[in-house]
Structure 1
Amino acid sequence: MLLFGNKFYLIFISFWIFGLYCIFTSFHSTSNNNKVFEDRIEYLQNEVDLLRQKLTQLQSKNNINDQVKVGKIDKNLKKAYSSYFSENIPCQELENEMKRLKRQLRSKNSGDGTTSSREEPSMEYEKLRRKIEMQARELTYFTTDQLNKISEKLTDDDKQKWNNVILRFADQSRVLLASIRNITEVDGYQLWREREHASLSKLMQTRLNSLQSPIKPCENVKRVTCNINKGCGYGCEIHHAMHCFHIAYAIGRPLILFSDGWRYNPGGFDQIFLPPSQNCTTSSATGASSWSNYETADVVEIPLIDNIYPRKDFMPMAVPEDIAERLIRLHGNPFVWFTGQLMKYLLRPQPWLKEFMEKKYESIKFEVPIVGVHVRRTDKVGSEAAFHDISEYMKHVEDYYTIYQYQNPNVNFTKRVFLATDEPAVFSDARSKFPNYIFYGDTAVAQSAQLNTRYGTESLKGVLLDIHFLSLCDYLVCTFSSQICRVAYEIMQQRLVDGAWRVQPLDDVYYFGGQNAHNQRAVLPNKAVWPNEFSFQRGDIIGTEGNHWDGFSKGSDKTNGQTGLYPSYKTEEIVNVAKMHTYPEVRVNIDEF
């Protein structure tokens, strides 16, 4: 009897949550009174806290699946209960809605010091806001590096005093970044950013669906083929597939992906992810012509990105001209956002994989705020990347959490890290050196990523879990020489309005293997005064080869031919924009956002 009572009570609470959600959404759309807004927010917050406590207590006593199967519970209640959980309306959804409501309330209060709601920001405003953060970070890199170099030359007594200077500067830098990042919370444009992100994402996914689902029989449309078997790691092969999908989108031809005998799953790509197309399959990809005939041939095979010739402007890292202005205004790295959308479509999980990830999410009790750390060792160290101790990663993790606290001074939180690595010993090393953190992660996944067990379906499941959870983090610390981290960073952009800044790489800047030239533009002139530095004029085009994270980048001036180091803060990224297929048949109603 007691067991039945608990189960019935859990169902009752489920209806209660759903009722609160309906009340809240109705209130959200109709109320215009600020006092009512504030009272409702406080009431809903209290209710959510209470429900969380009661649900936690009940779920610890009863398994949810067993509860649904109990025959004595009324069938209508069971149906409603199952429907509720299948529609996924948890307390977290209420909390997200409350955050949006609070933001709207702040926008309405134009008379109390906050900024009134505005329709949309200008291109210049958004670019300047991001530029200020970039310059603040570059100032921190440069000054910290120089202060540390001075410290090395001081006596022991003076070093202690100088260390206080270094610590104070670091703290002031974090306060500055916290203020910069809070601008989006008070400038009145965040609702526009959220709508624009949703609108562009819907447009991209609708276009990709149209591309991969031609109305005509596939034999009657021009198409491209690609073989995922590049013979490298998972991140490398996925980026190869994205290179192919990028070109398919650019020239308006559906992609047919060959994956038989895939080293990660011999049964093929389609057993892990949904097929790229239902009506354009490998059976309609015979007689493929070489890339040189891509403008005329019915079927064209896309080669590896390093071997493709002739190279075209629409190849990575270009973005489509027809949506470029919207992307540049919305996101700090438009190509990363664009690639994230390609991945969103091509990497749609099969039902079994989706269920597998959801169960893992529940089992580890994934919570935010959380920072993702990816430590790549094994074959990368000494060949493609340098060794980085866990303390190098954790320095940036601590910086993020300090800034987060300055942004949210009244919030109490636990410092969490999701740790992904191919070296199991990293887990014990991290936990012993940083006991004040909670580390999520799986040593079994790390073990499966060892060179002797890396290739196979079980190892693939571990890689997919790592990427999935890294992409769900609020911030990433990693090495961009690892393609796994770049994949996670790209997928992260699918859910974030502008997550370009939410990463701290320890080595390379972001890049796409085999990309066209990565150029920057000088926004200020520079006169060389440091060793290996070169001079340039405002407007010069500089080919960048990497950021040293000490205030300097390495590159070459394509105007005067000089090479060496240059001050990063005096340049800006050039977004490659290219003409691509425009999908005139696809329309998205902006008003729904």
Structure 2
Amino acid sequence: MIVLLVLWLLFLFIAVQYLRQEPDQNTNQRISQVLRDLQSLHRQREEISKLLSEYNSANAPMKQEEKEALLKSIQEKVIQPEGLVGSDGNDRDDPPSLEYEKTRRRVRMGVEEMWFFVSNQIRNIQKKAQNVSPQITSQLSKILDEGVEHKRSLIRDVNRLSEVDGFHSWRLKEAVALSDLVQRRLSYLQNPSDCDNAKKLVCKLNKGCGYGCQLHHAVYCMMVAYGTQRTMILQSKGWRYNKGGWETVFRPVSESCTDVSGPVQSWPGNENTPAVLLGIIDSLSPRPPYLPLAVPKDLANRIAKLHGDPAVWWVGQFLKYLMRPQPGTTLMLRDAAVKFKYERPIVGVHIRRTDKVGTEAAFHPVDEYMMHVEEYFKQIELTQKVEKKRIYLASDDVKVFKEVVSK
């Protein structure tokens, strides 16, 4: 057990040292900035203490408006500290390196994975020792309880890195800019100036499966359309989830090019084929090279720098485009949020129990899900106040809801 803990600490030390590898000039600038921040915080602490003393003073009665003005001054000092690294006024102009961003995320993942390993090994030892030495079992429980607190503290500090390293504003701006770029590309491809002569990829939303599966089918079609630079024609009339078709629920995938005239050739066709029909992805041959985990070469580095799982971000952009809601859908979702009293923080839990269990997925008890939910809330409680712990539960088994309530 001691060996495991030593290995964990050694890993964290190496990771943090690696994170800190920057040009000497940058390192010196960071150290100087941190020292200035400490001095600024010290001055603000003295100012806040003085303001609080005045506010609580019983010897100098104050009018209500004077108290409110003083209280506002205190709040501004607490909420908006001046001159801190990572604040809007001190963010760096240059973006972080790709290796820095990857390393920062690896450190976080390493802390999580190391704790999964160590805690699992301790629990295995507990099971073996419970009938032999209850005292050892009790000690191991104490180690687990204290160990997870240290893990949460480390995760909090690693998360904090992204806020104080000077690149926080860049990440926010890049997330918006990169997503906007992809959305513009999709819109341009889906709305050609000359629909009659535009090359098209026909996708039929008739796959015999559930909503999520059909959504995957539509996403894959659009990814292939992007890769082949064709306008996707989504044929969805008679859709099992709305007979009126996709456009009844979501905005049309194209405002100007929604049908195909002339012959349609089955996949793969060739680059000169006017219209190609893309069948169900599962049985396509040859398989398109544009499906996950593929990302476009010209955006690969930007995506990898911004997101820890580039393929997930890339798929998300197609979902963002496809699932733009119609006004009626937006209203329905807002009404549902009000009805369900949807407030943050909230954890979404999807418990699949029917057709997938025993085939594609294993059975997991409710307690296993809730353990992760509880850990999430304990983690965020280190940085924010949680008035009420909420979950949004989705399941295909009605008995699950009763089971969750009873826990």
Q: Note if contact 1:107-1:116 (Cα within 8 Å) is conserved in structure 2.
A: no
Residue identity in the other structure for 1:108 = G
Q: Which one of the candidate residues 200, 206, 214 is aligned to 2:178?
A: 200
* TM-aligned CA deviation for residue 116 of structure 1: 3.6
Q: Note if contact 2:88-2:169 (Cα within 8 Å) is conserved in structure 1.
A: no
**Which residue number in structure 2 is paired with residue 246 of structure 1?**
223
Q: Which runs of no fewer than 5 residues in structure 2 stay unpaired?
A: 1-39, 49-74
Instruction: Sort the Cα spacing of 1:135 and 1:160 in 2 relative to 1 into closer, same or farther, 3 A.
Output: same
**Richer in helix (by share):** 2
Residue identity in the other structure for 1:251 = T
**C-alpha separation in 2, matches of 1:145 and 1:304:** 41
**Which residue number in structure 2 is paired with residue 407 of structure 1?**
383
Q: Note if contact 1:179-1:407 (Cα within 8 Å) is conserved in structure 2.
A: no
**C-alpha separation in 1, matches of 2:182 and 2:379:** 34
**Which residue number in structure 1 is paired with residue 266 of structure 2?**
290
**C-alpha separation in 1, matches of 2:398 and 2:349:** 14
* TM-aligned CA deviation for residue 234 of structure 1: 0.5
Residue identity in the other structure for 1:345 = Y
* TM-aligned CA deviation for residue 293 of structure 1: 1.3
Superposition TM-score, scaled by structure 2 size: 0.76
Q: Note if contact 1:107-1:117 (Cα within 8 Å) is conserved in structure 2.
A: no
* TM-aligned CA deviation for residue 115 of structure 1: 10
The answer to whether the aligner puts 1:424 opposite 2:378 as a matched pair is no
Instruction: Sort the Cα spacing of 1:160 and 1:115 in 2 relative to 1 into closer, same or farther, 3 A.
Output: farther
**C-alpha separation in 2, matches of 1:414 and 1:369:** 8
Q: Note if contact 1:225-1:300 (Cα within 8 Å) is conserved in structure 2.
A: yes
Q: Note if contact 1:377-1:422 (Cα within 8 Å) is conserved in structure 2.
A: yes
Q: Note if contact 2:87-2:164 (Cα within 8 Å) is conserved in structure 1.
A: no
**Which residue number in structure 2 is paired with residue 187 of structure 1?**
165
**C-alpha separation in 1, matches of 2:172 and 2:227:** 26
**Which residue number in structure 1 is paired with residue 122 of structure 2?**
147
- How many equivalent pairs are there? 332
The answer to whether the aligner puts 1:358 opposite 2:334 as a matched pair is yes
**C-alpha separation in 2, matches of 1:114 and 1:292:** 50
Instruction: Sort the Cα spacing of 1:167 and 1:311 in 2 relative to 1 into closer, same or farther, 3 A.
Output: same
Residue identity in the other structure for 1:233 = G
**C-alpha separation in 1, matches of 2:337 and 2:144:** 40
**C-alpha separation in 2, matches of 1:325 and 1:173:** 31
Residue identity in the other structure for 2:257 = C
Taking the TM superposition and a 5 Å limit, the aligned residue runs for 1:528-547 are none
Instruction: Sort the Cα spacing of 1:374 and 1:412 in 2 relative to 1 into closer, same or farther, 3 A.
Output: closer
Taking the TM superposition and a 5 Å limit, the aligned residue runs for 1:193-592 are 193-216=171-194, 218-282=195-259, 284-408=260-384, 411-433=385-407
Q: Percent identity?
A: 40
* SS in structure 2 at match of 1:124: helix
**C-alpha separation in 1, matches of 2:82 and 2:227:** 39
* TM-aligned CA deviation for residue 286 of structure 1: 4.2
**C-alpha separation in 2, matches of 1:190 and 1:298:** 46
**Which residue number in structure 1 is paired with residue 67 of structure 2?**
none
**C-alpha separation in 2, matches of 1:131 and 1:213:** 40
Instruction: Sort the Cα spacing of 1:419 and 1:404 in 2 relative to 1 into closer, same or farther, 3 A.
Output: same
Q: Note if contact 1:182-1:407 (Cα within 8 Å) is conserved in structure 2.
A: no
**C-alpha separation in 2, matches of 1:233 and 1:342:** 19
Superposition TM-score, scaled by structure 1 size: 0.53
Residue identity in the other structure for 1:202 = D
Taking the TM superposition and a 5 Å limit, the aligned residue runs for 1:124-163 are 124-154=99-129, 155=132, 156-163=134-141
Residue identity in the other structure for 1:421 = S
Question: Could you list the per-position Cα deviations for residues 88-119 of structure 1 after superposition, in whole angstroms to 9, with x for gaps in the alignment?
Answer: xxxxxxxxxx99x96xx558335x99994212
* SS in structure 2 at match of 1:162: helix
**Which residue number in structure 2 is paired with residue 45 of structure 1?**
none
* TM-aligned CA deviation for residue 171 of structure 1: 2.1
Question: Could you list the per-position Cα deviations for residues 364-408 of structure 1 after superposition, in whole angstroms to 9, with x for gaps in the alignment?
Answer: 232111111111112122222111111101111111111111234
Q: Note if contact 1:222-1:299 (Cα within 8 Å) is conserved in structure 2.
A: yes
Taking only aligned residues, the RMSD between alpha carbons, in angstroms, comes to: 2.7
* TM-aligned CA deviation for residue 170 of structure 1: 2.0
Moved more, 266-275 or 251-260: 266-275
* TM-aligned CA deviation for residue 140 of structure 1: 1.1
* SS in structure 1 at match of 2:276: strand
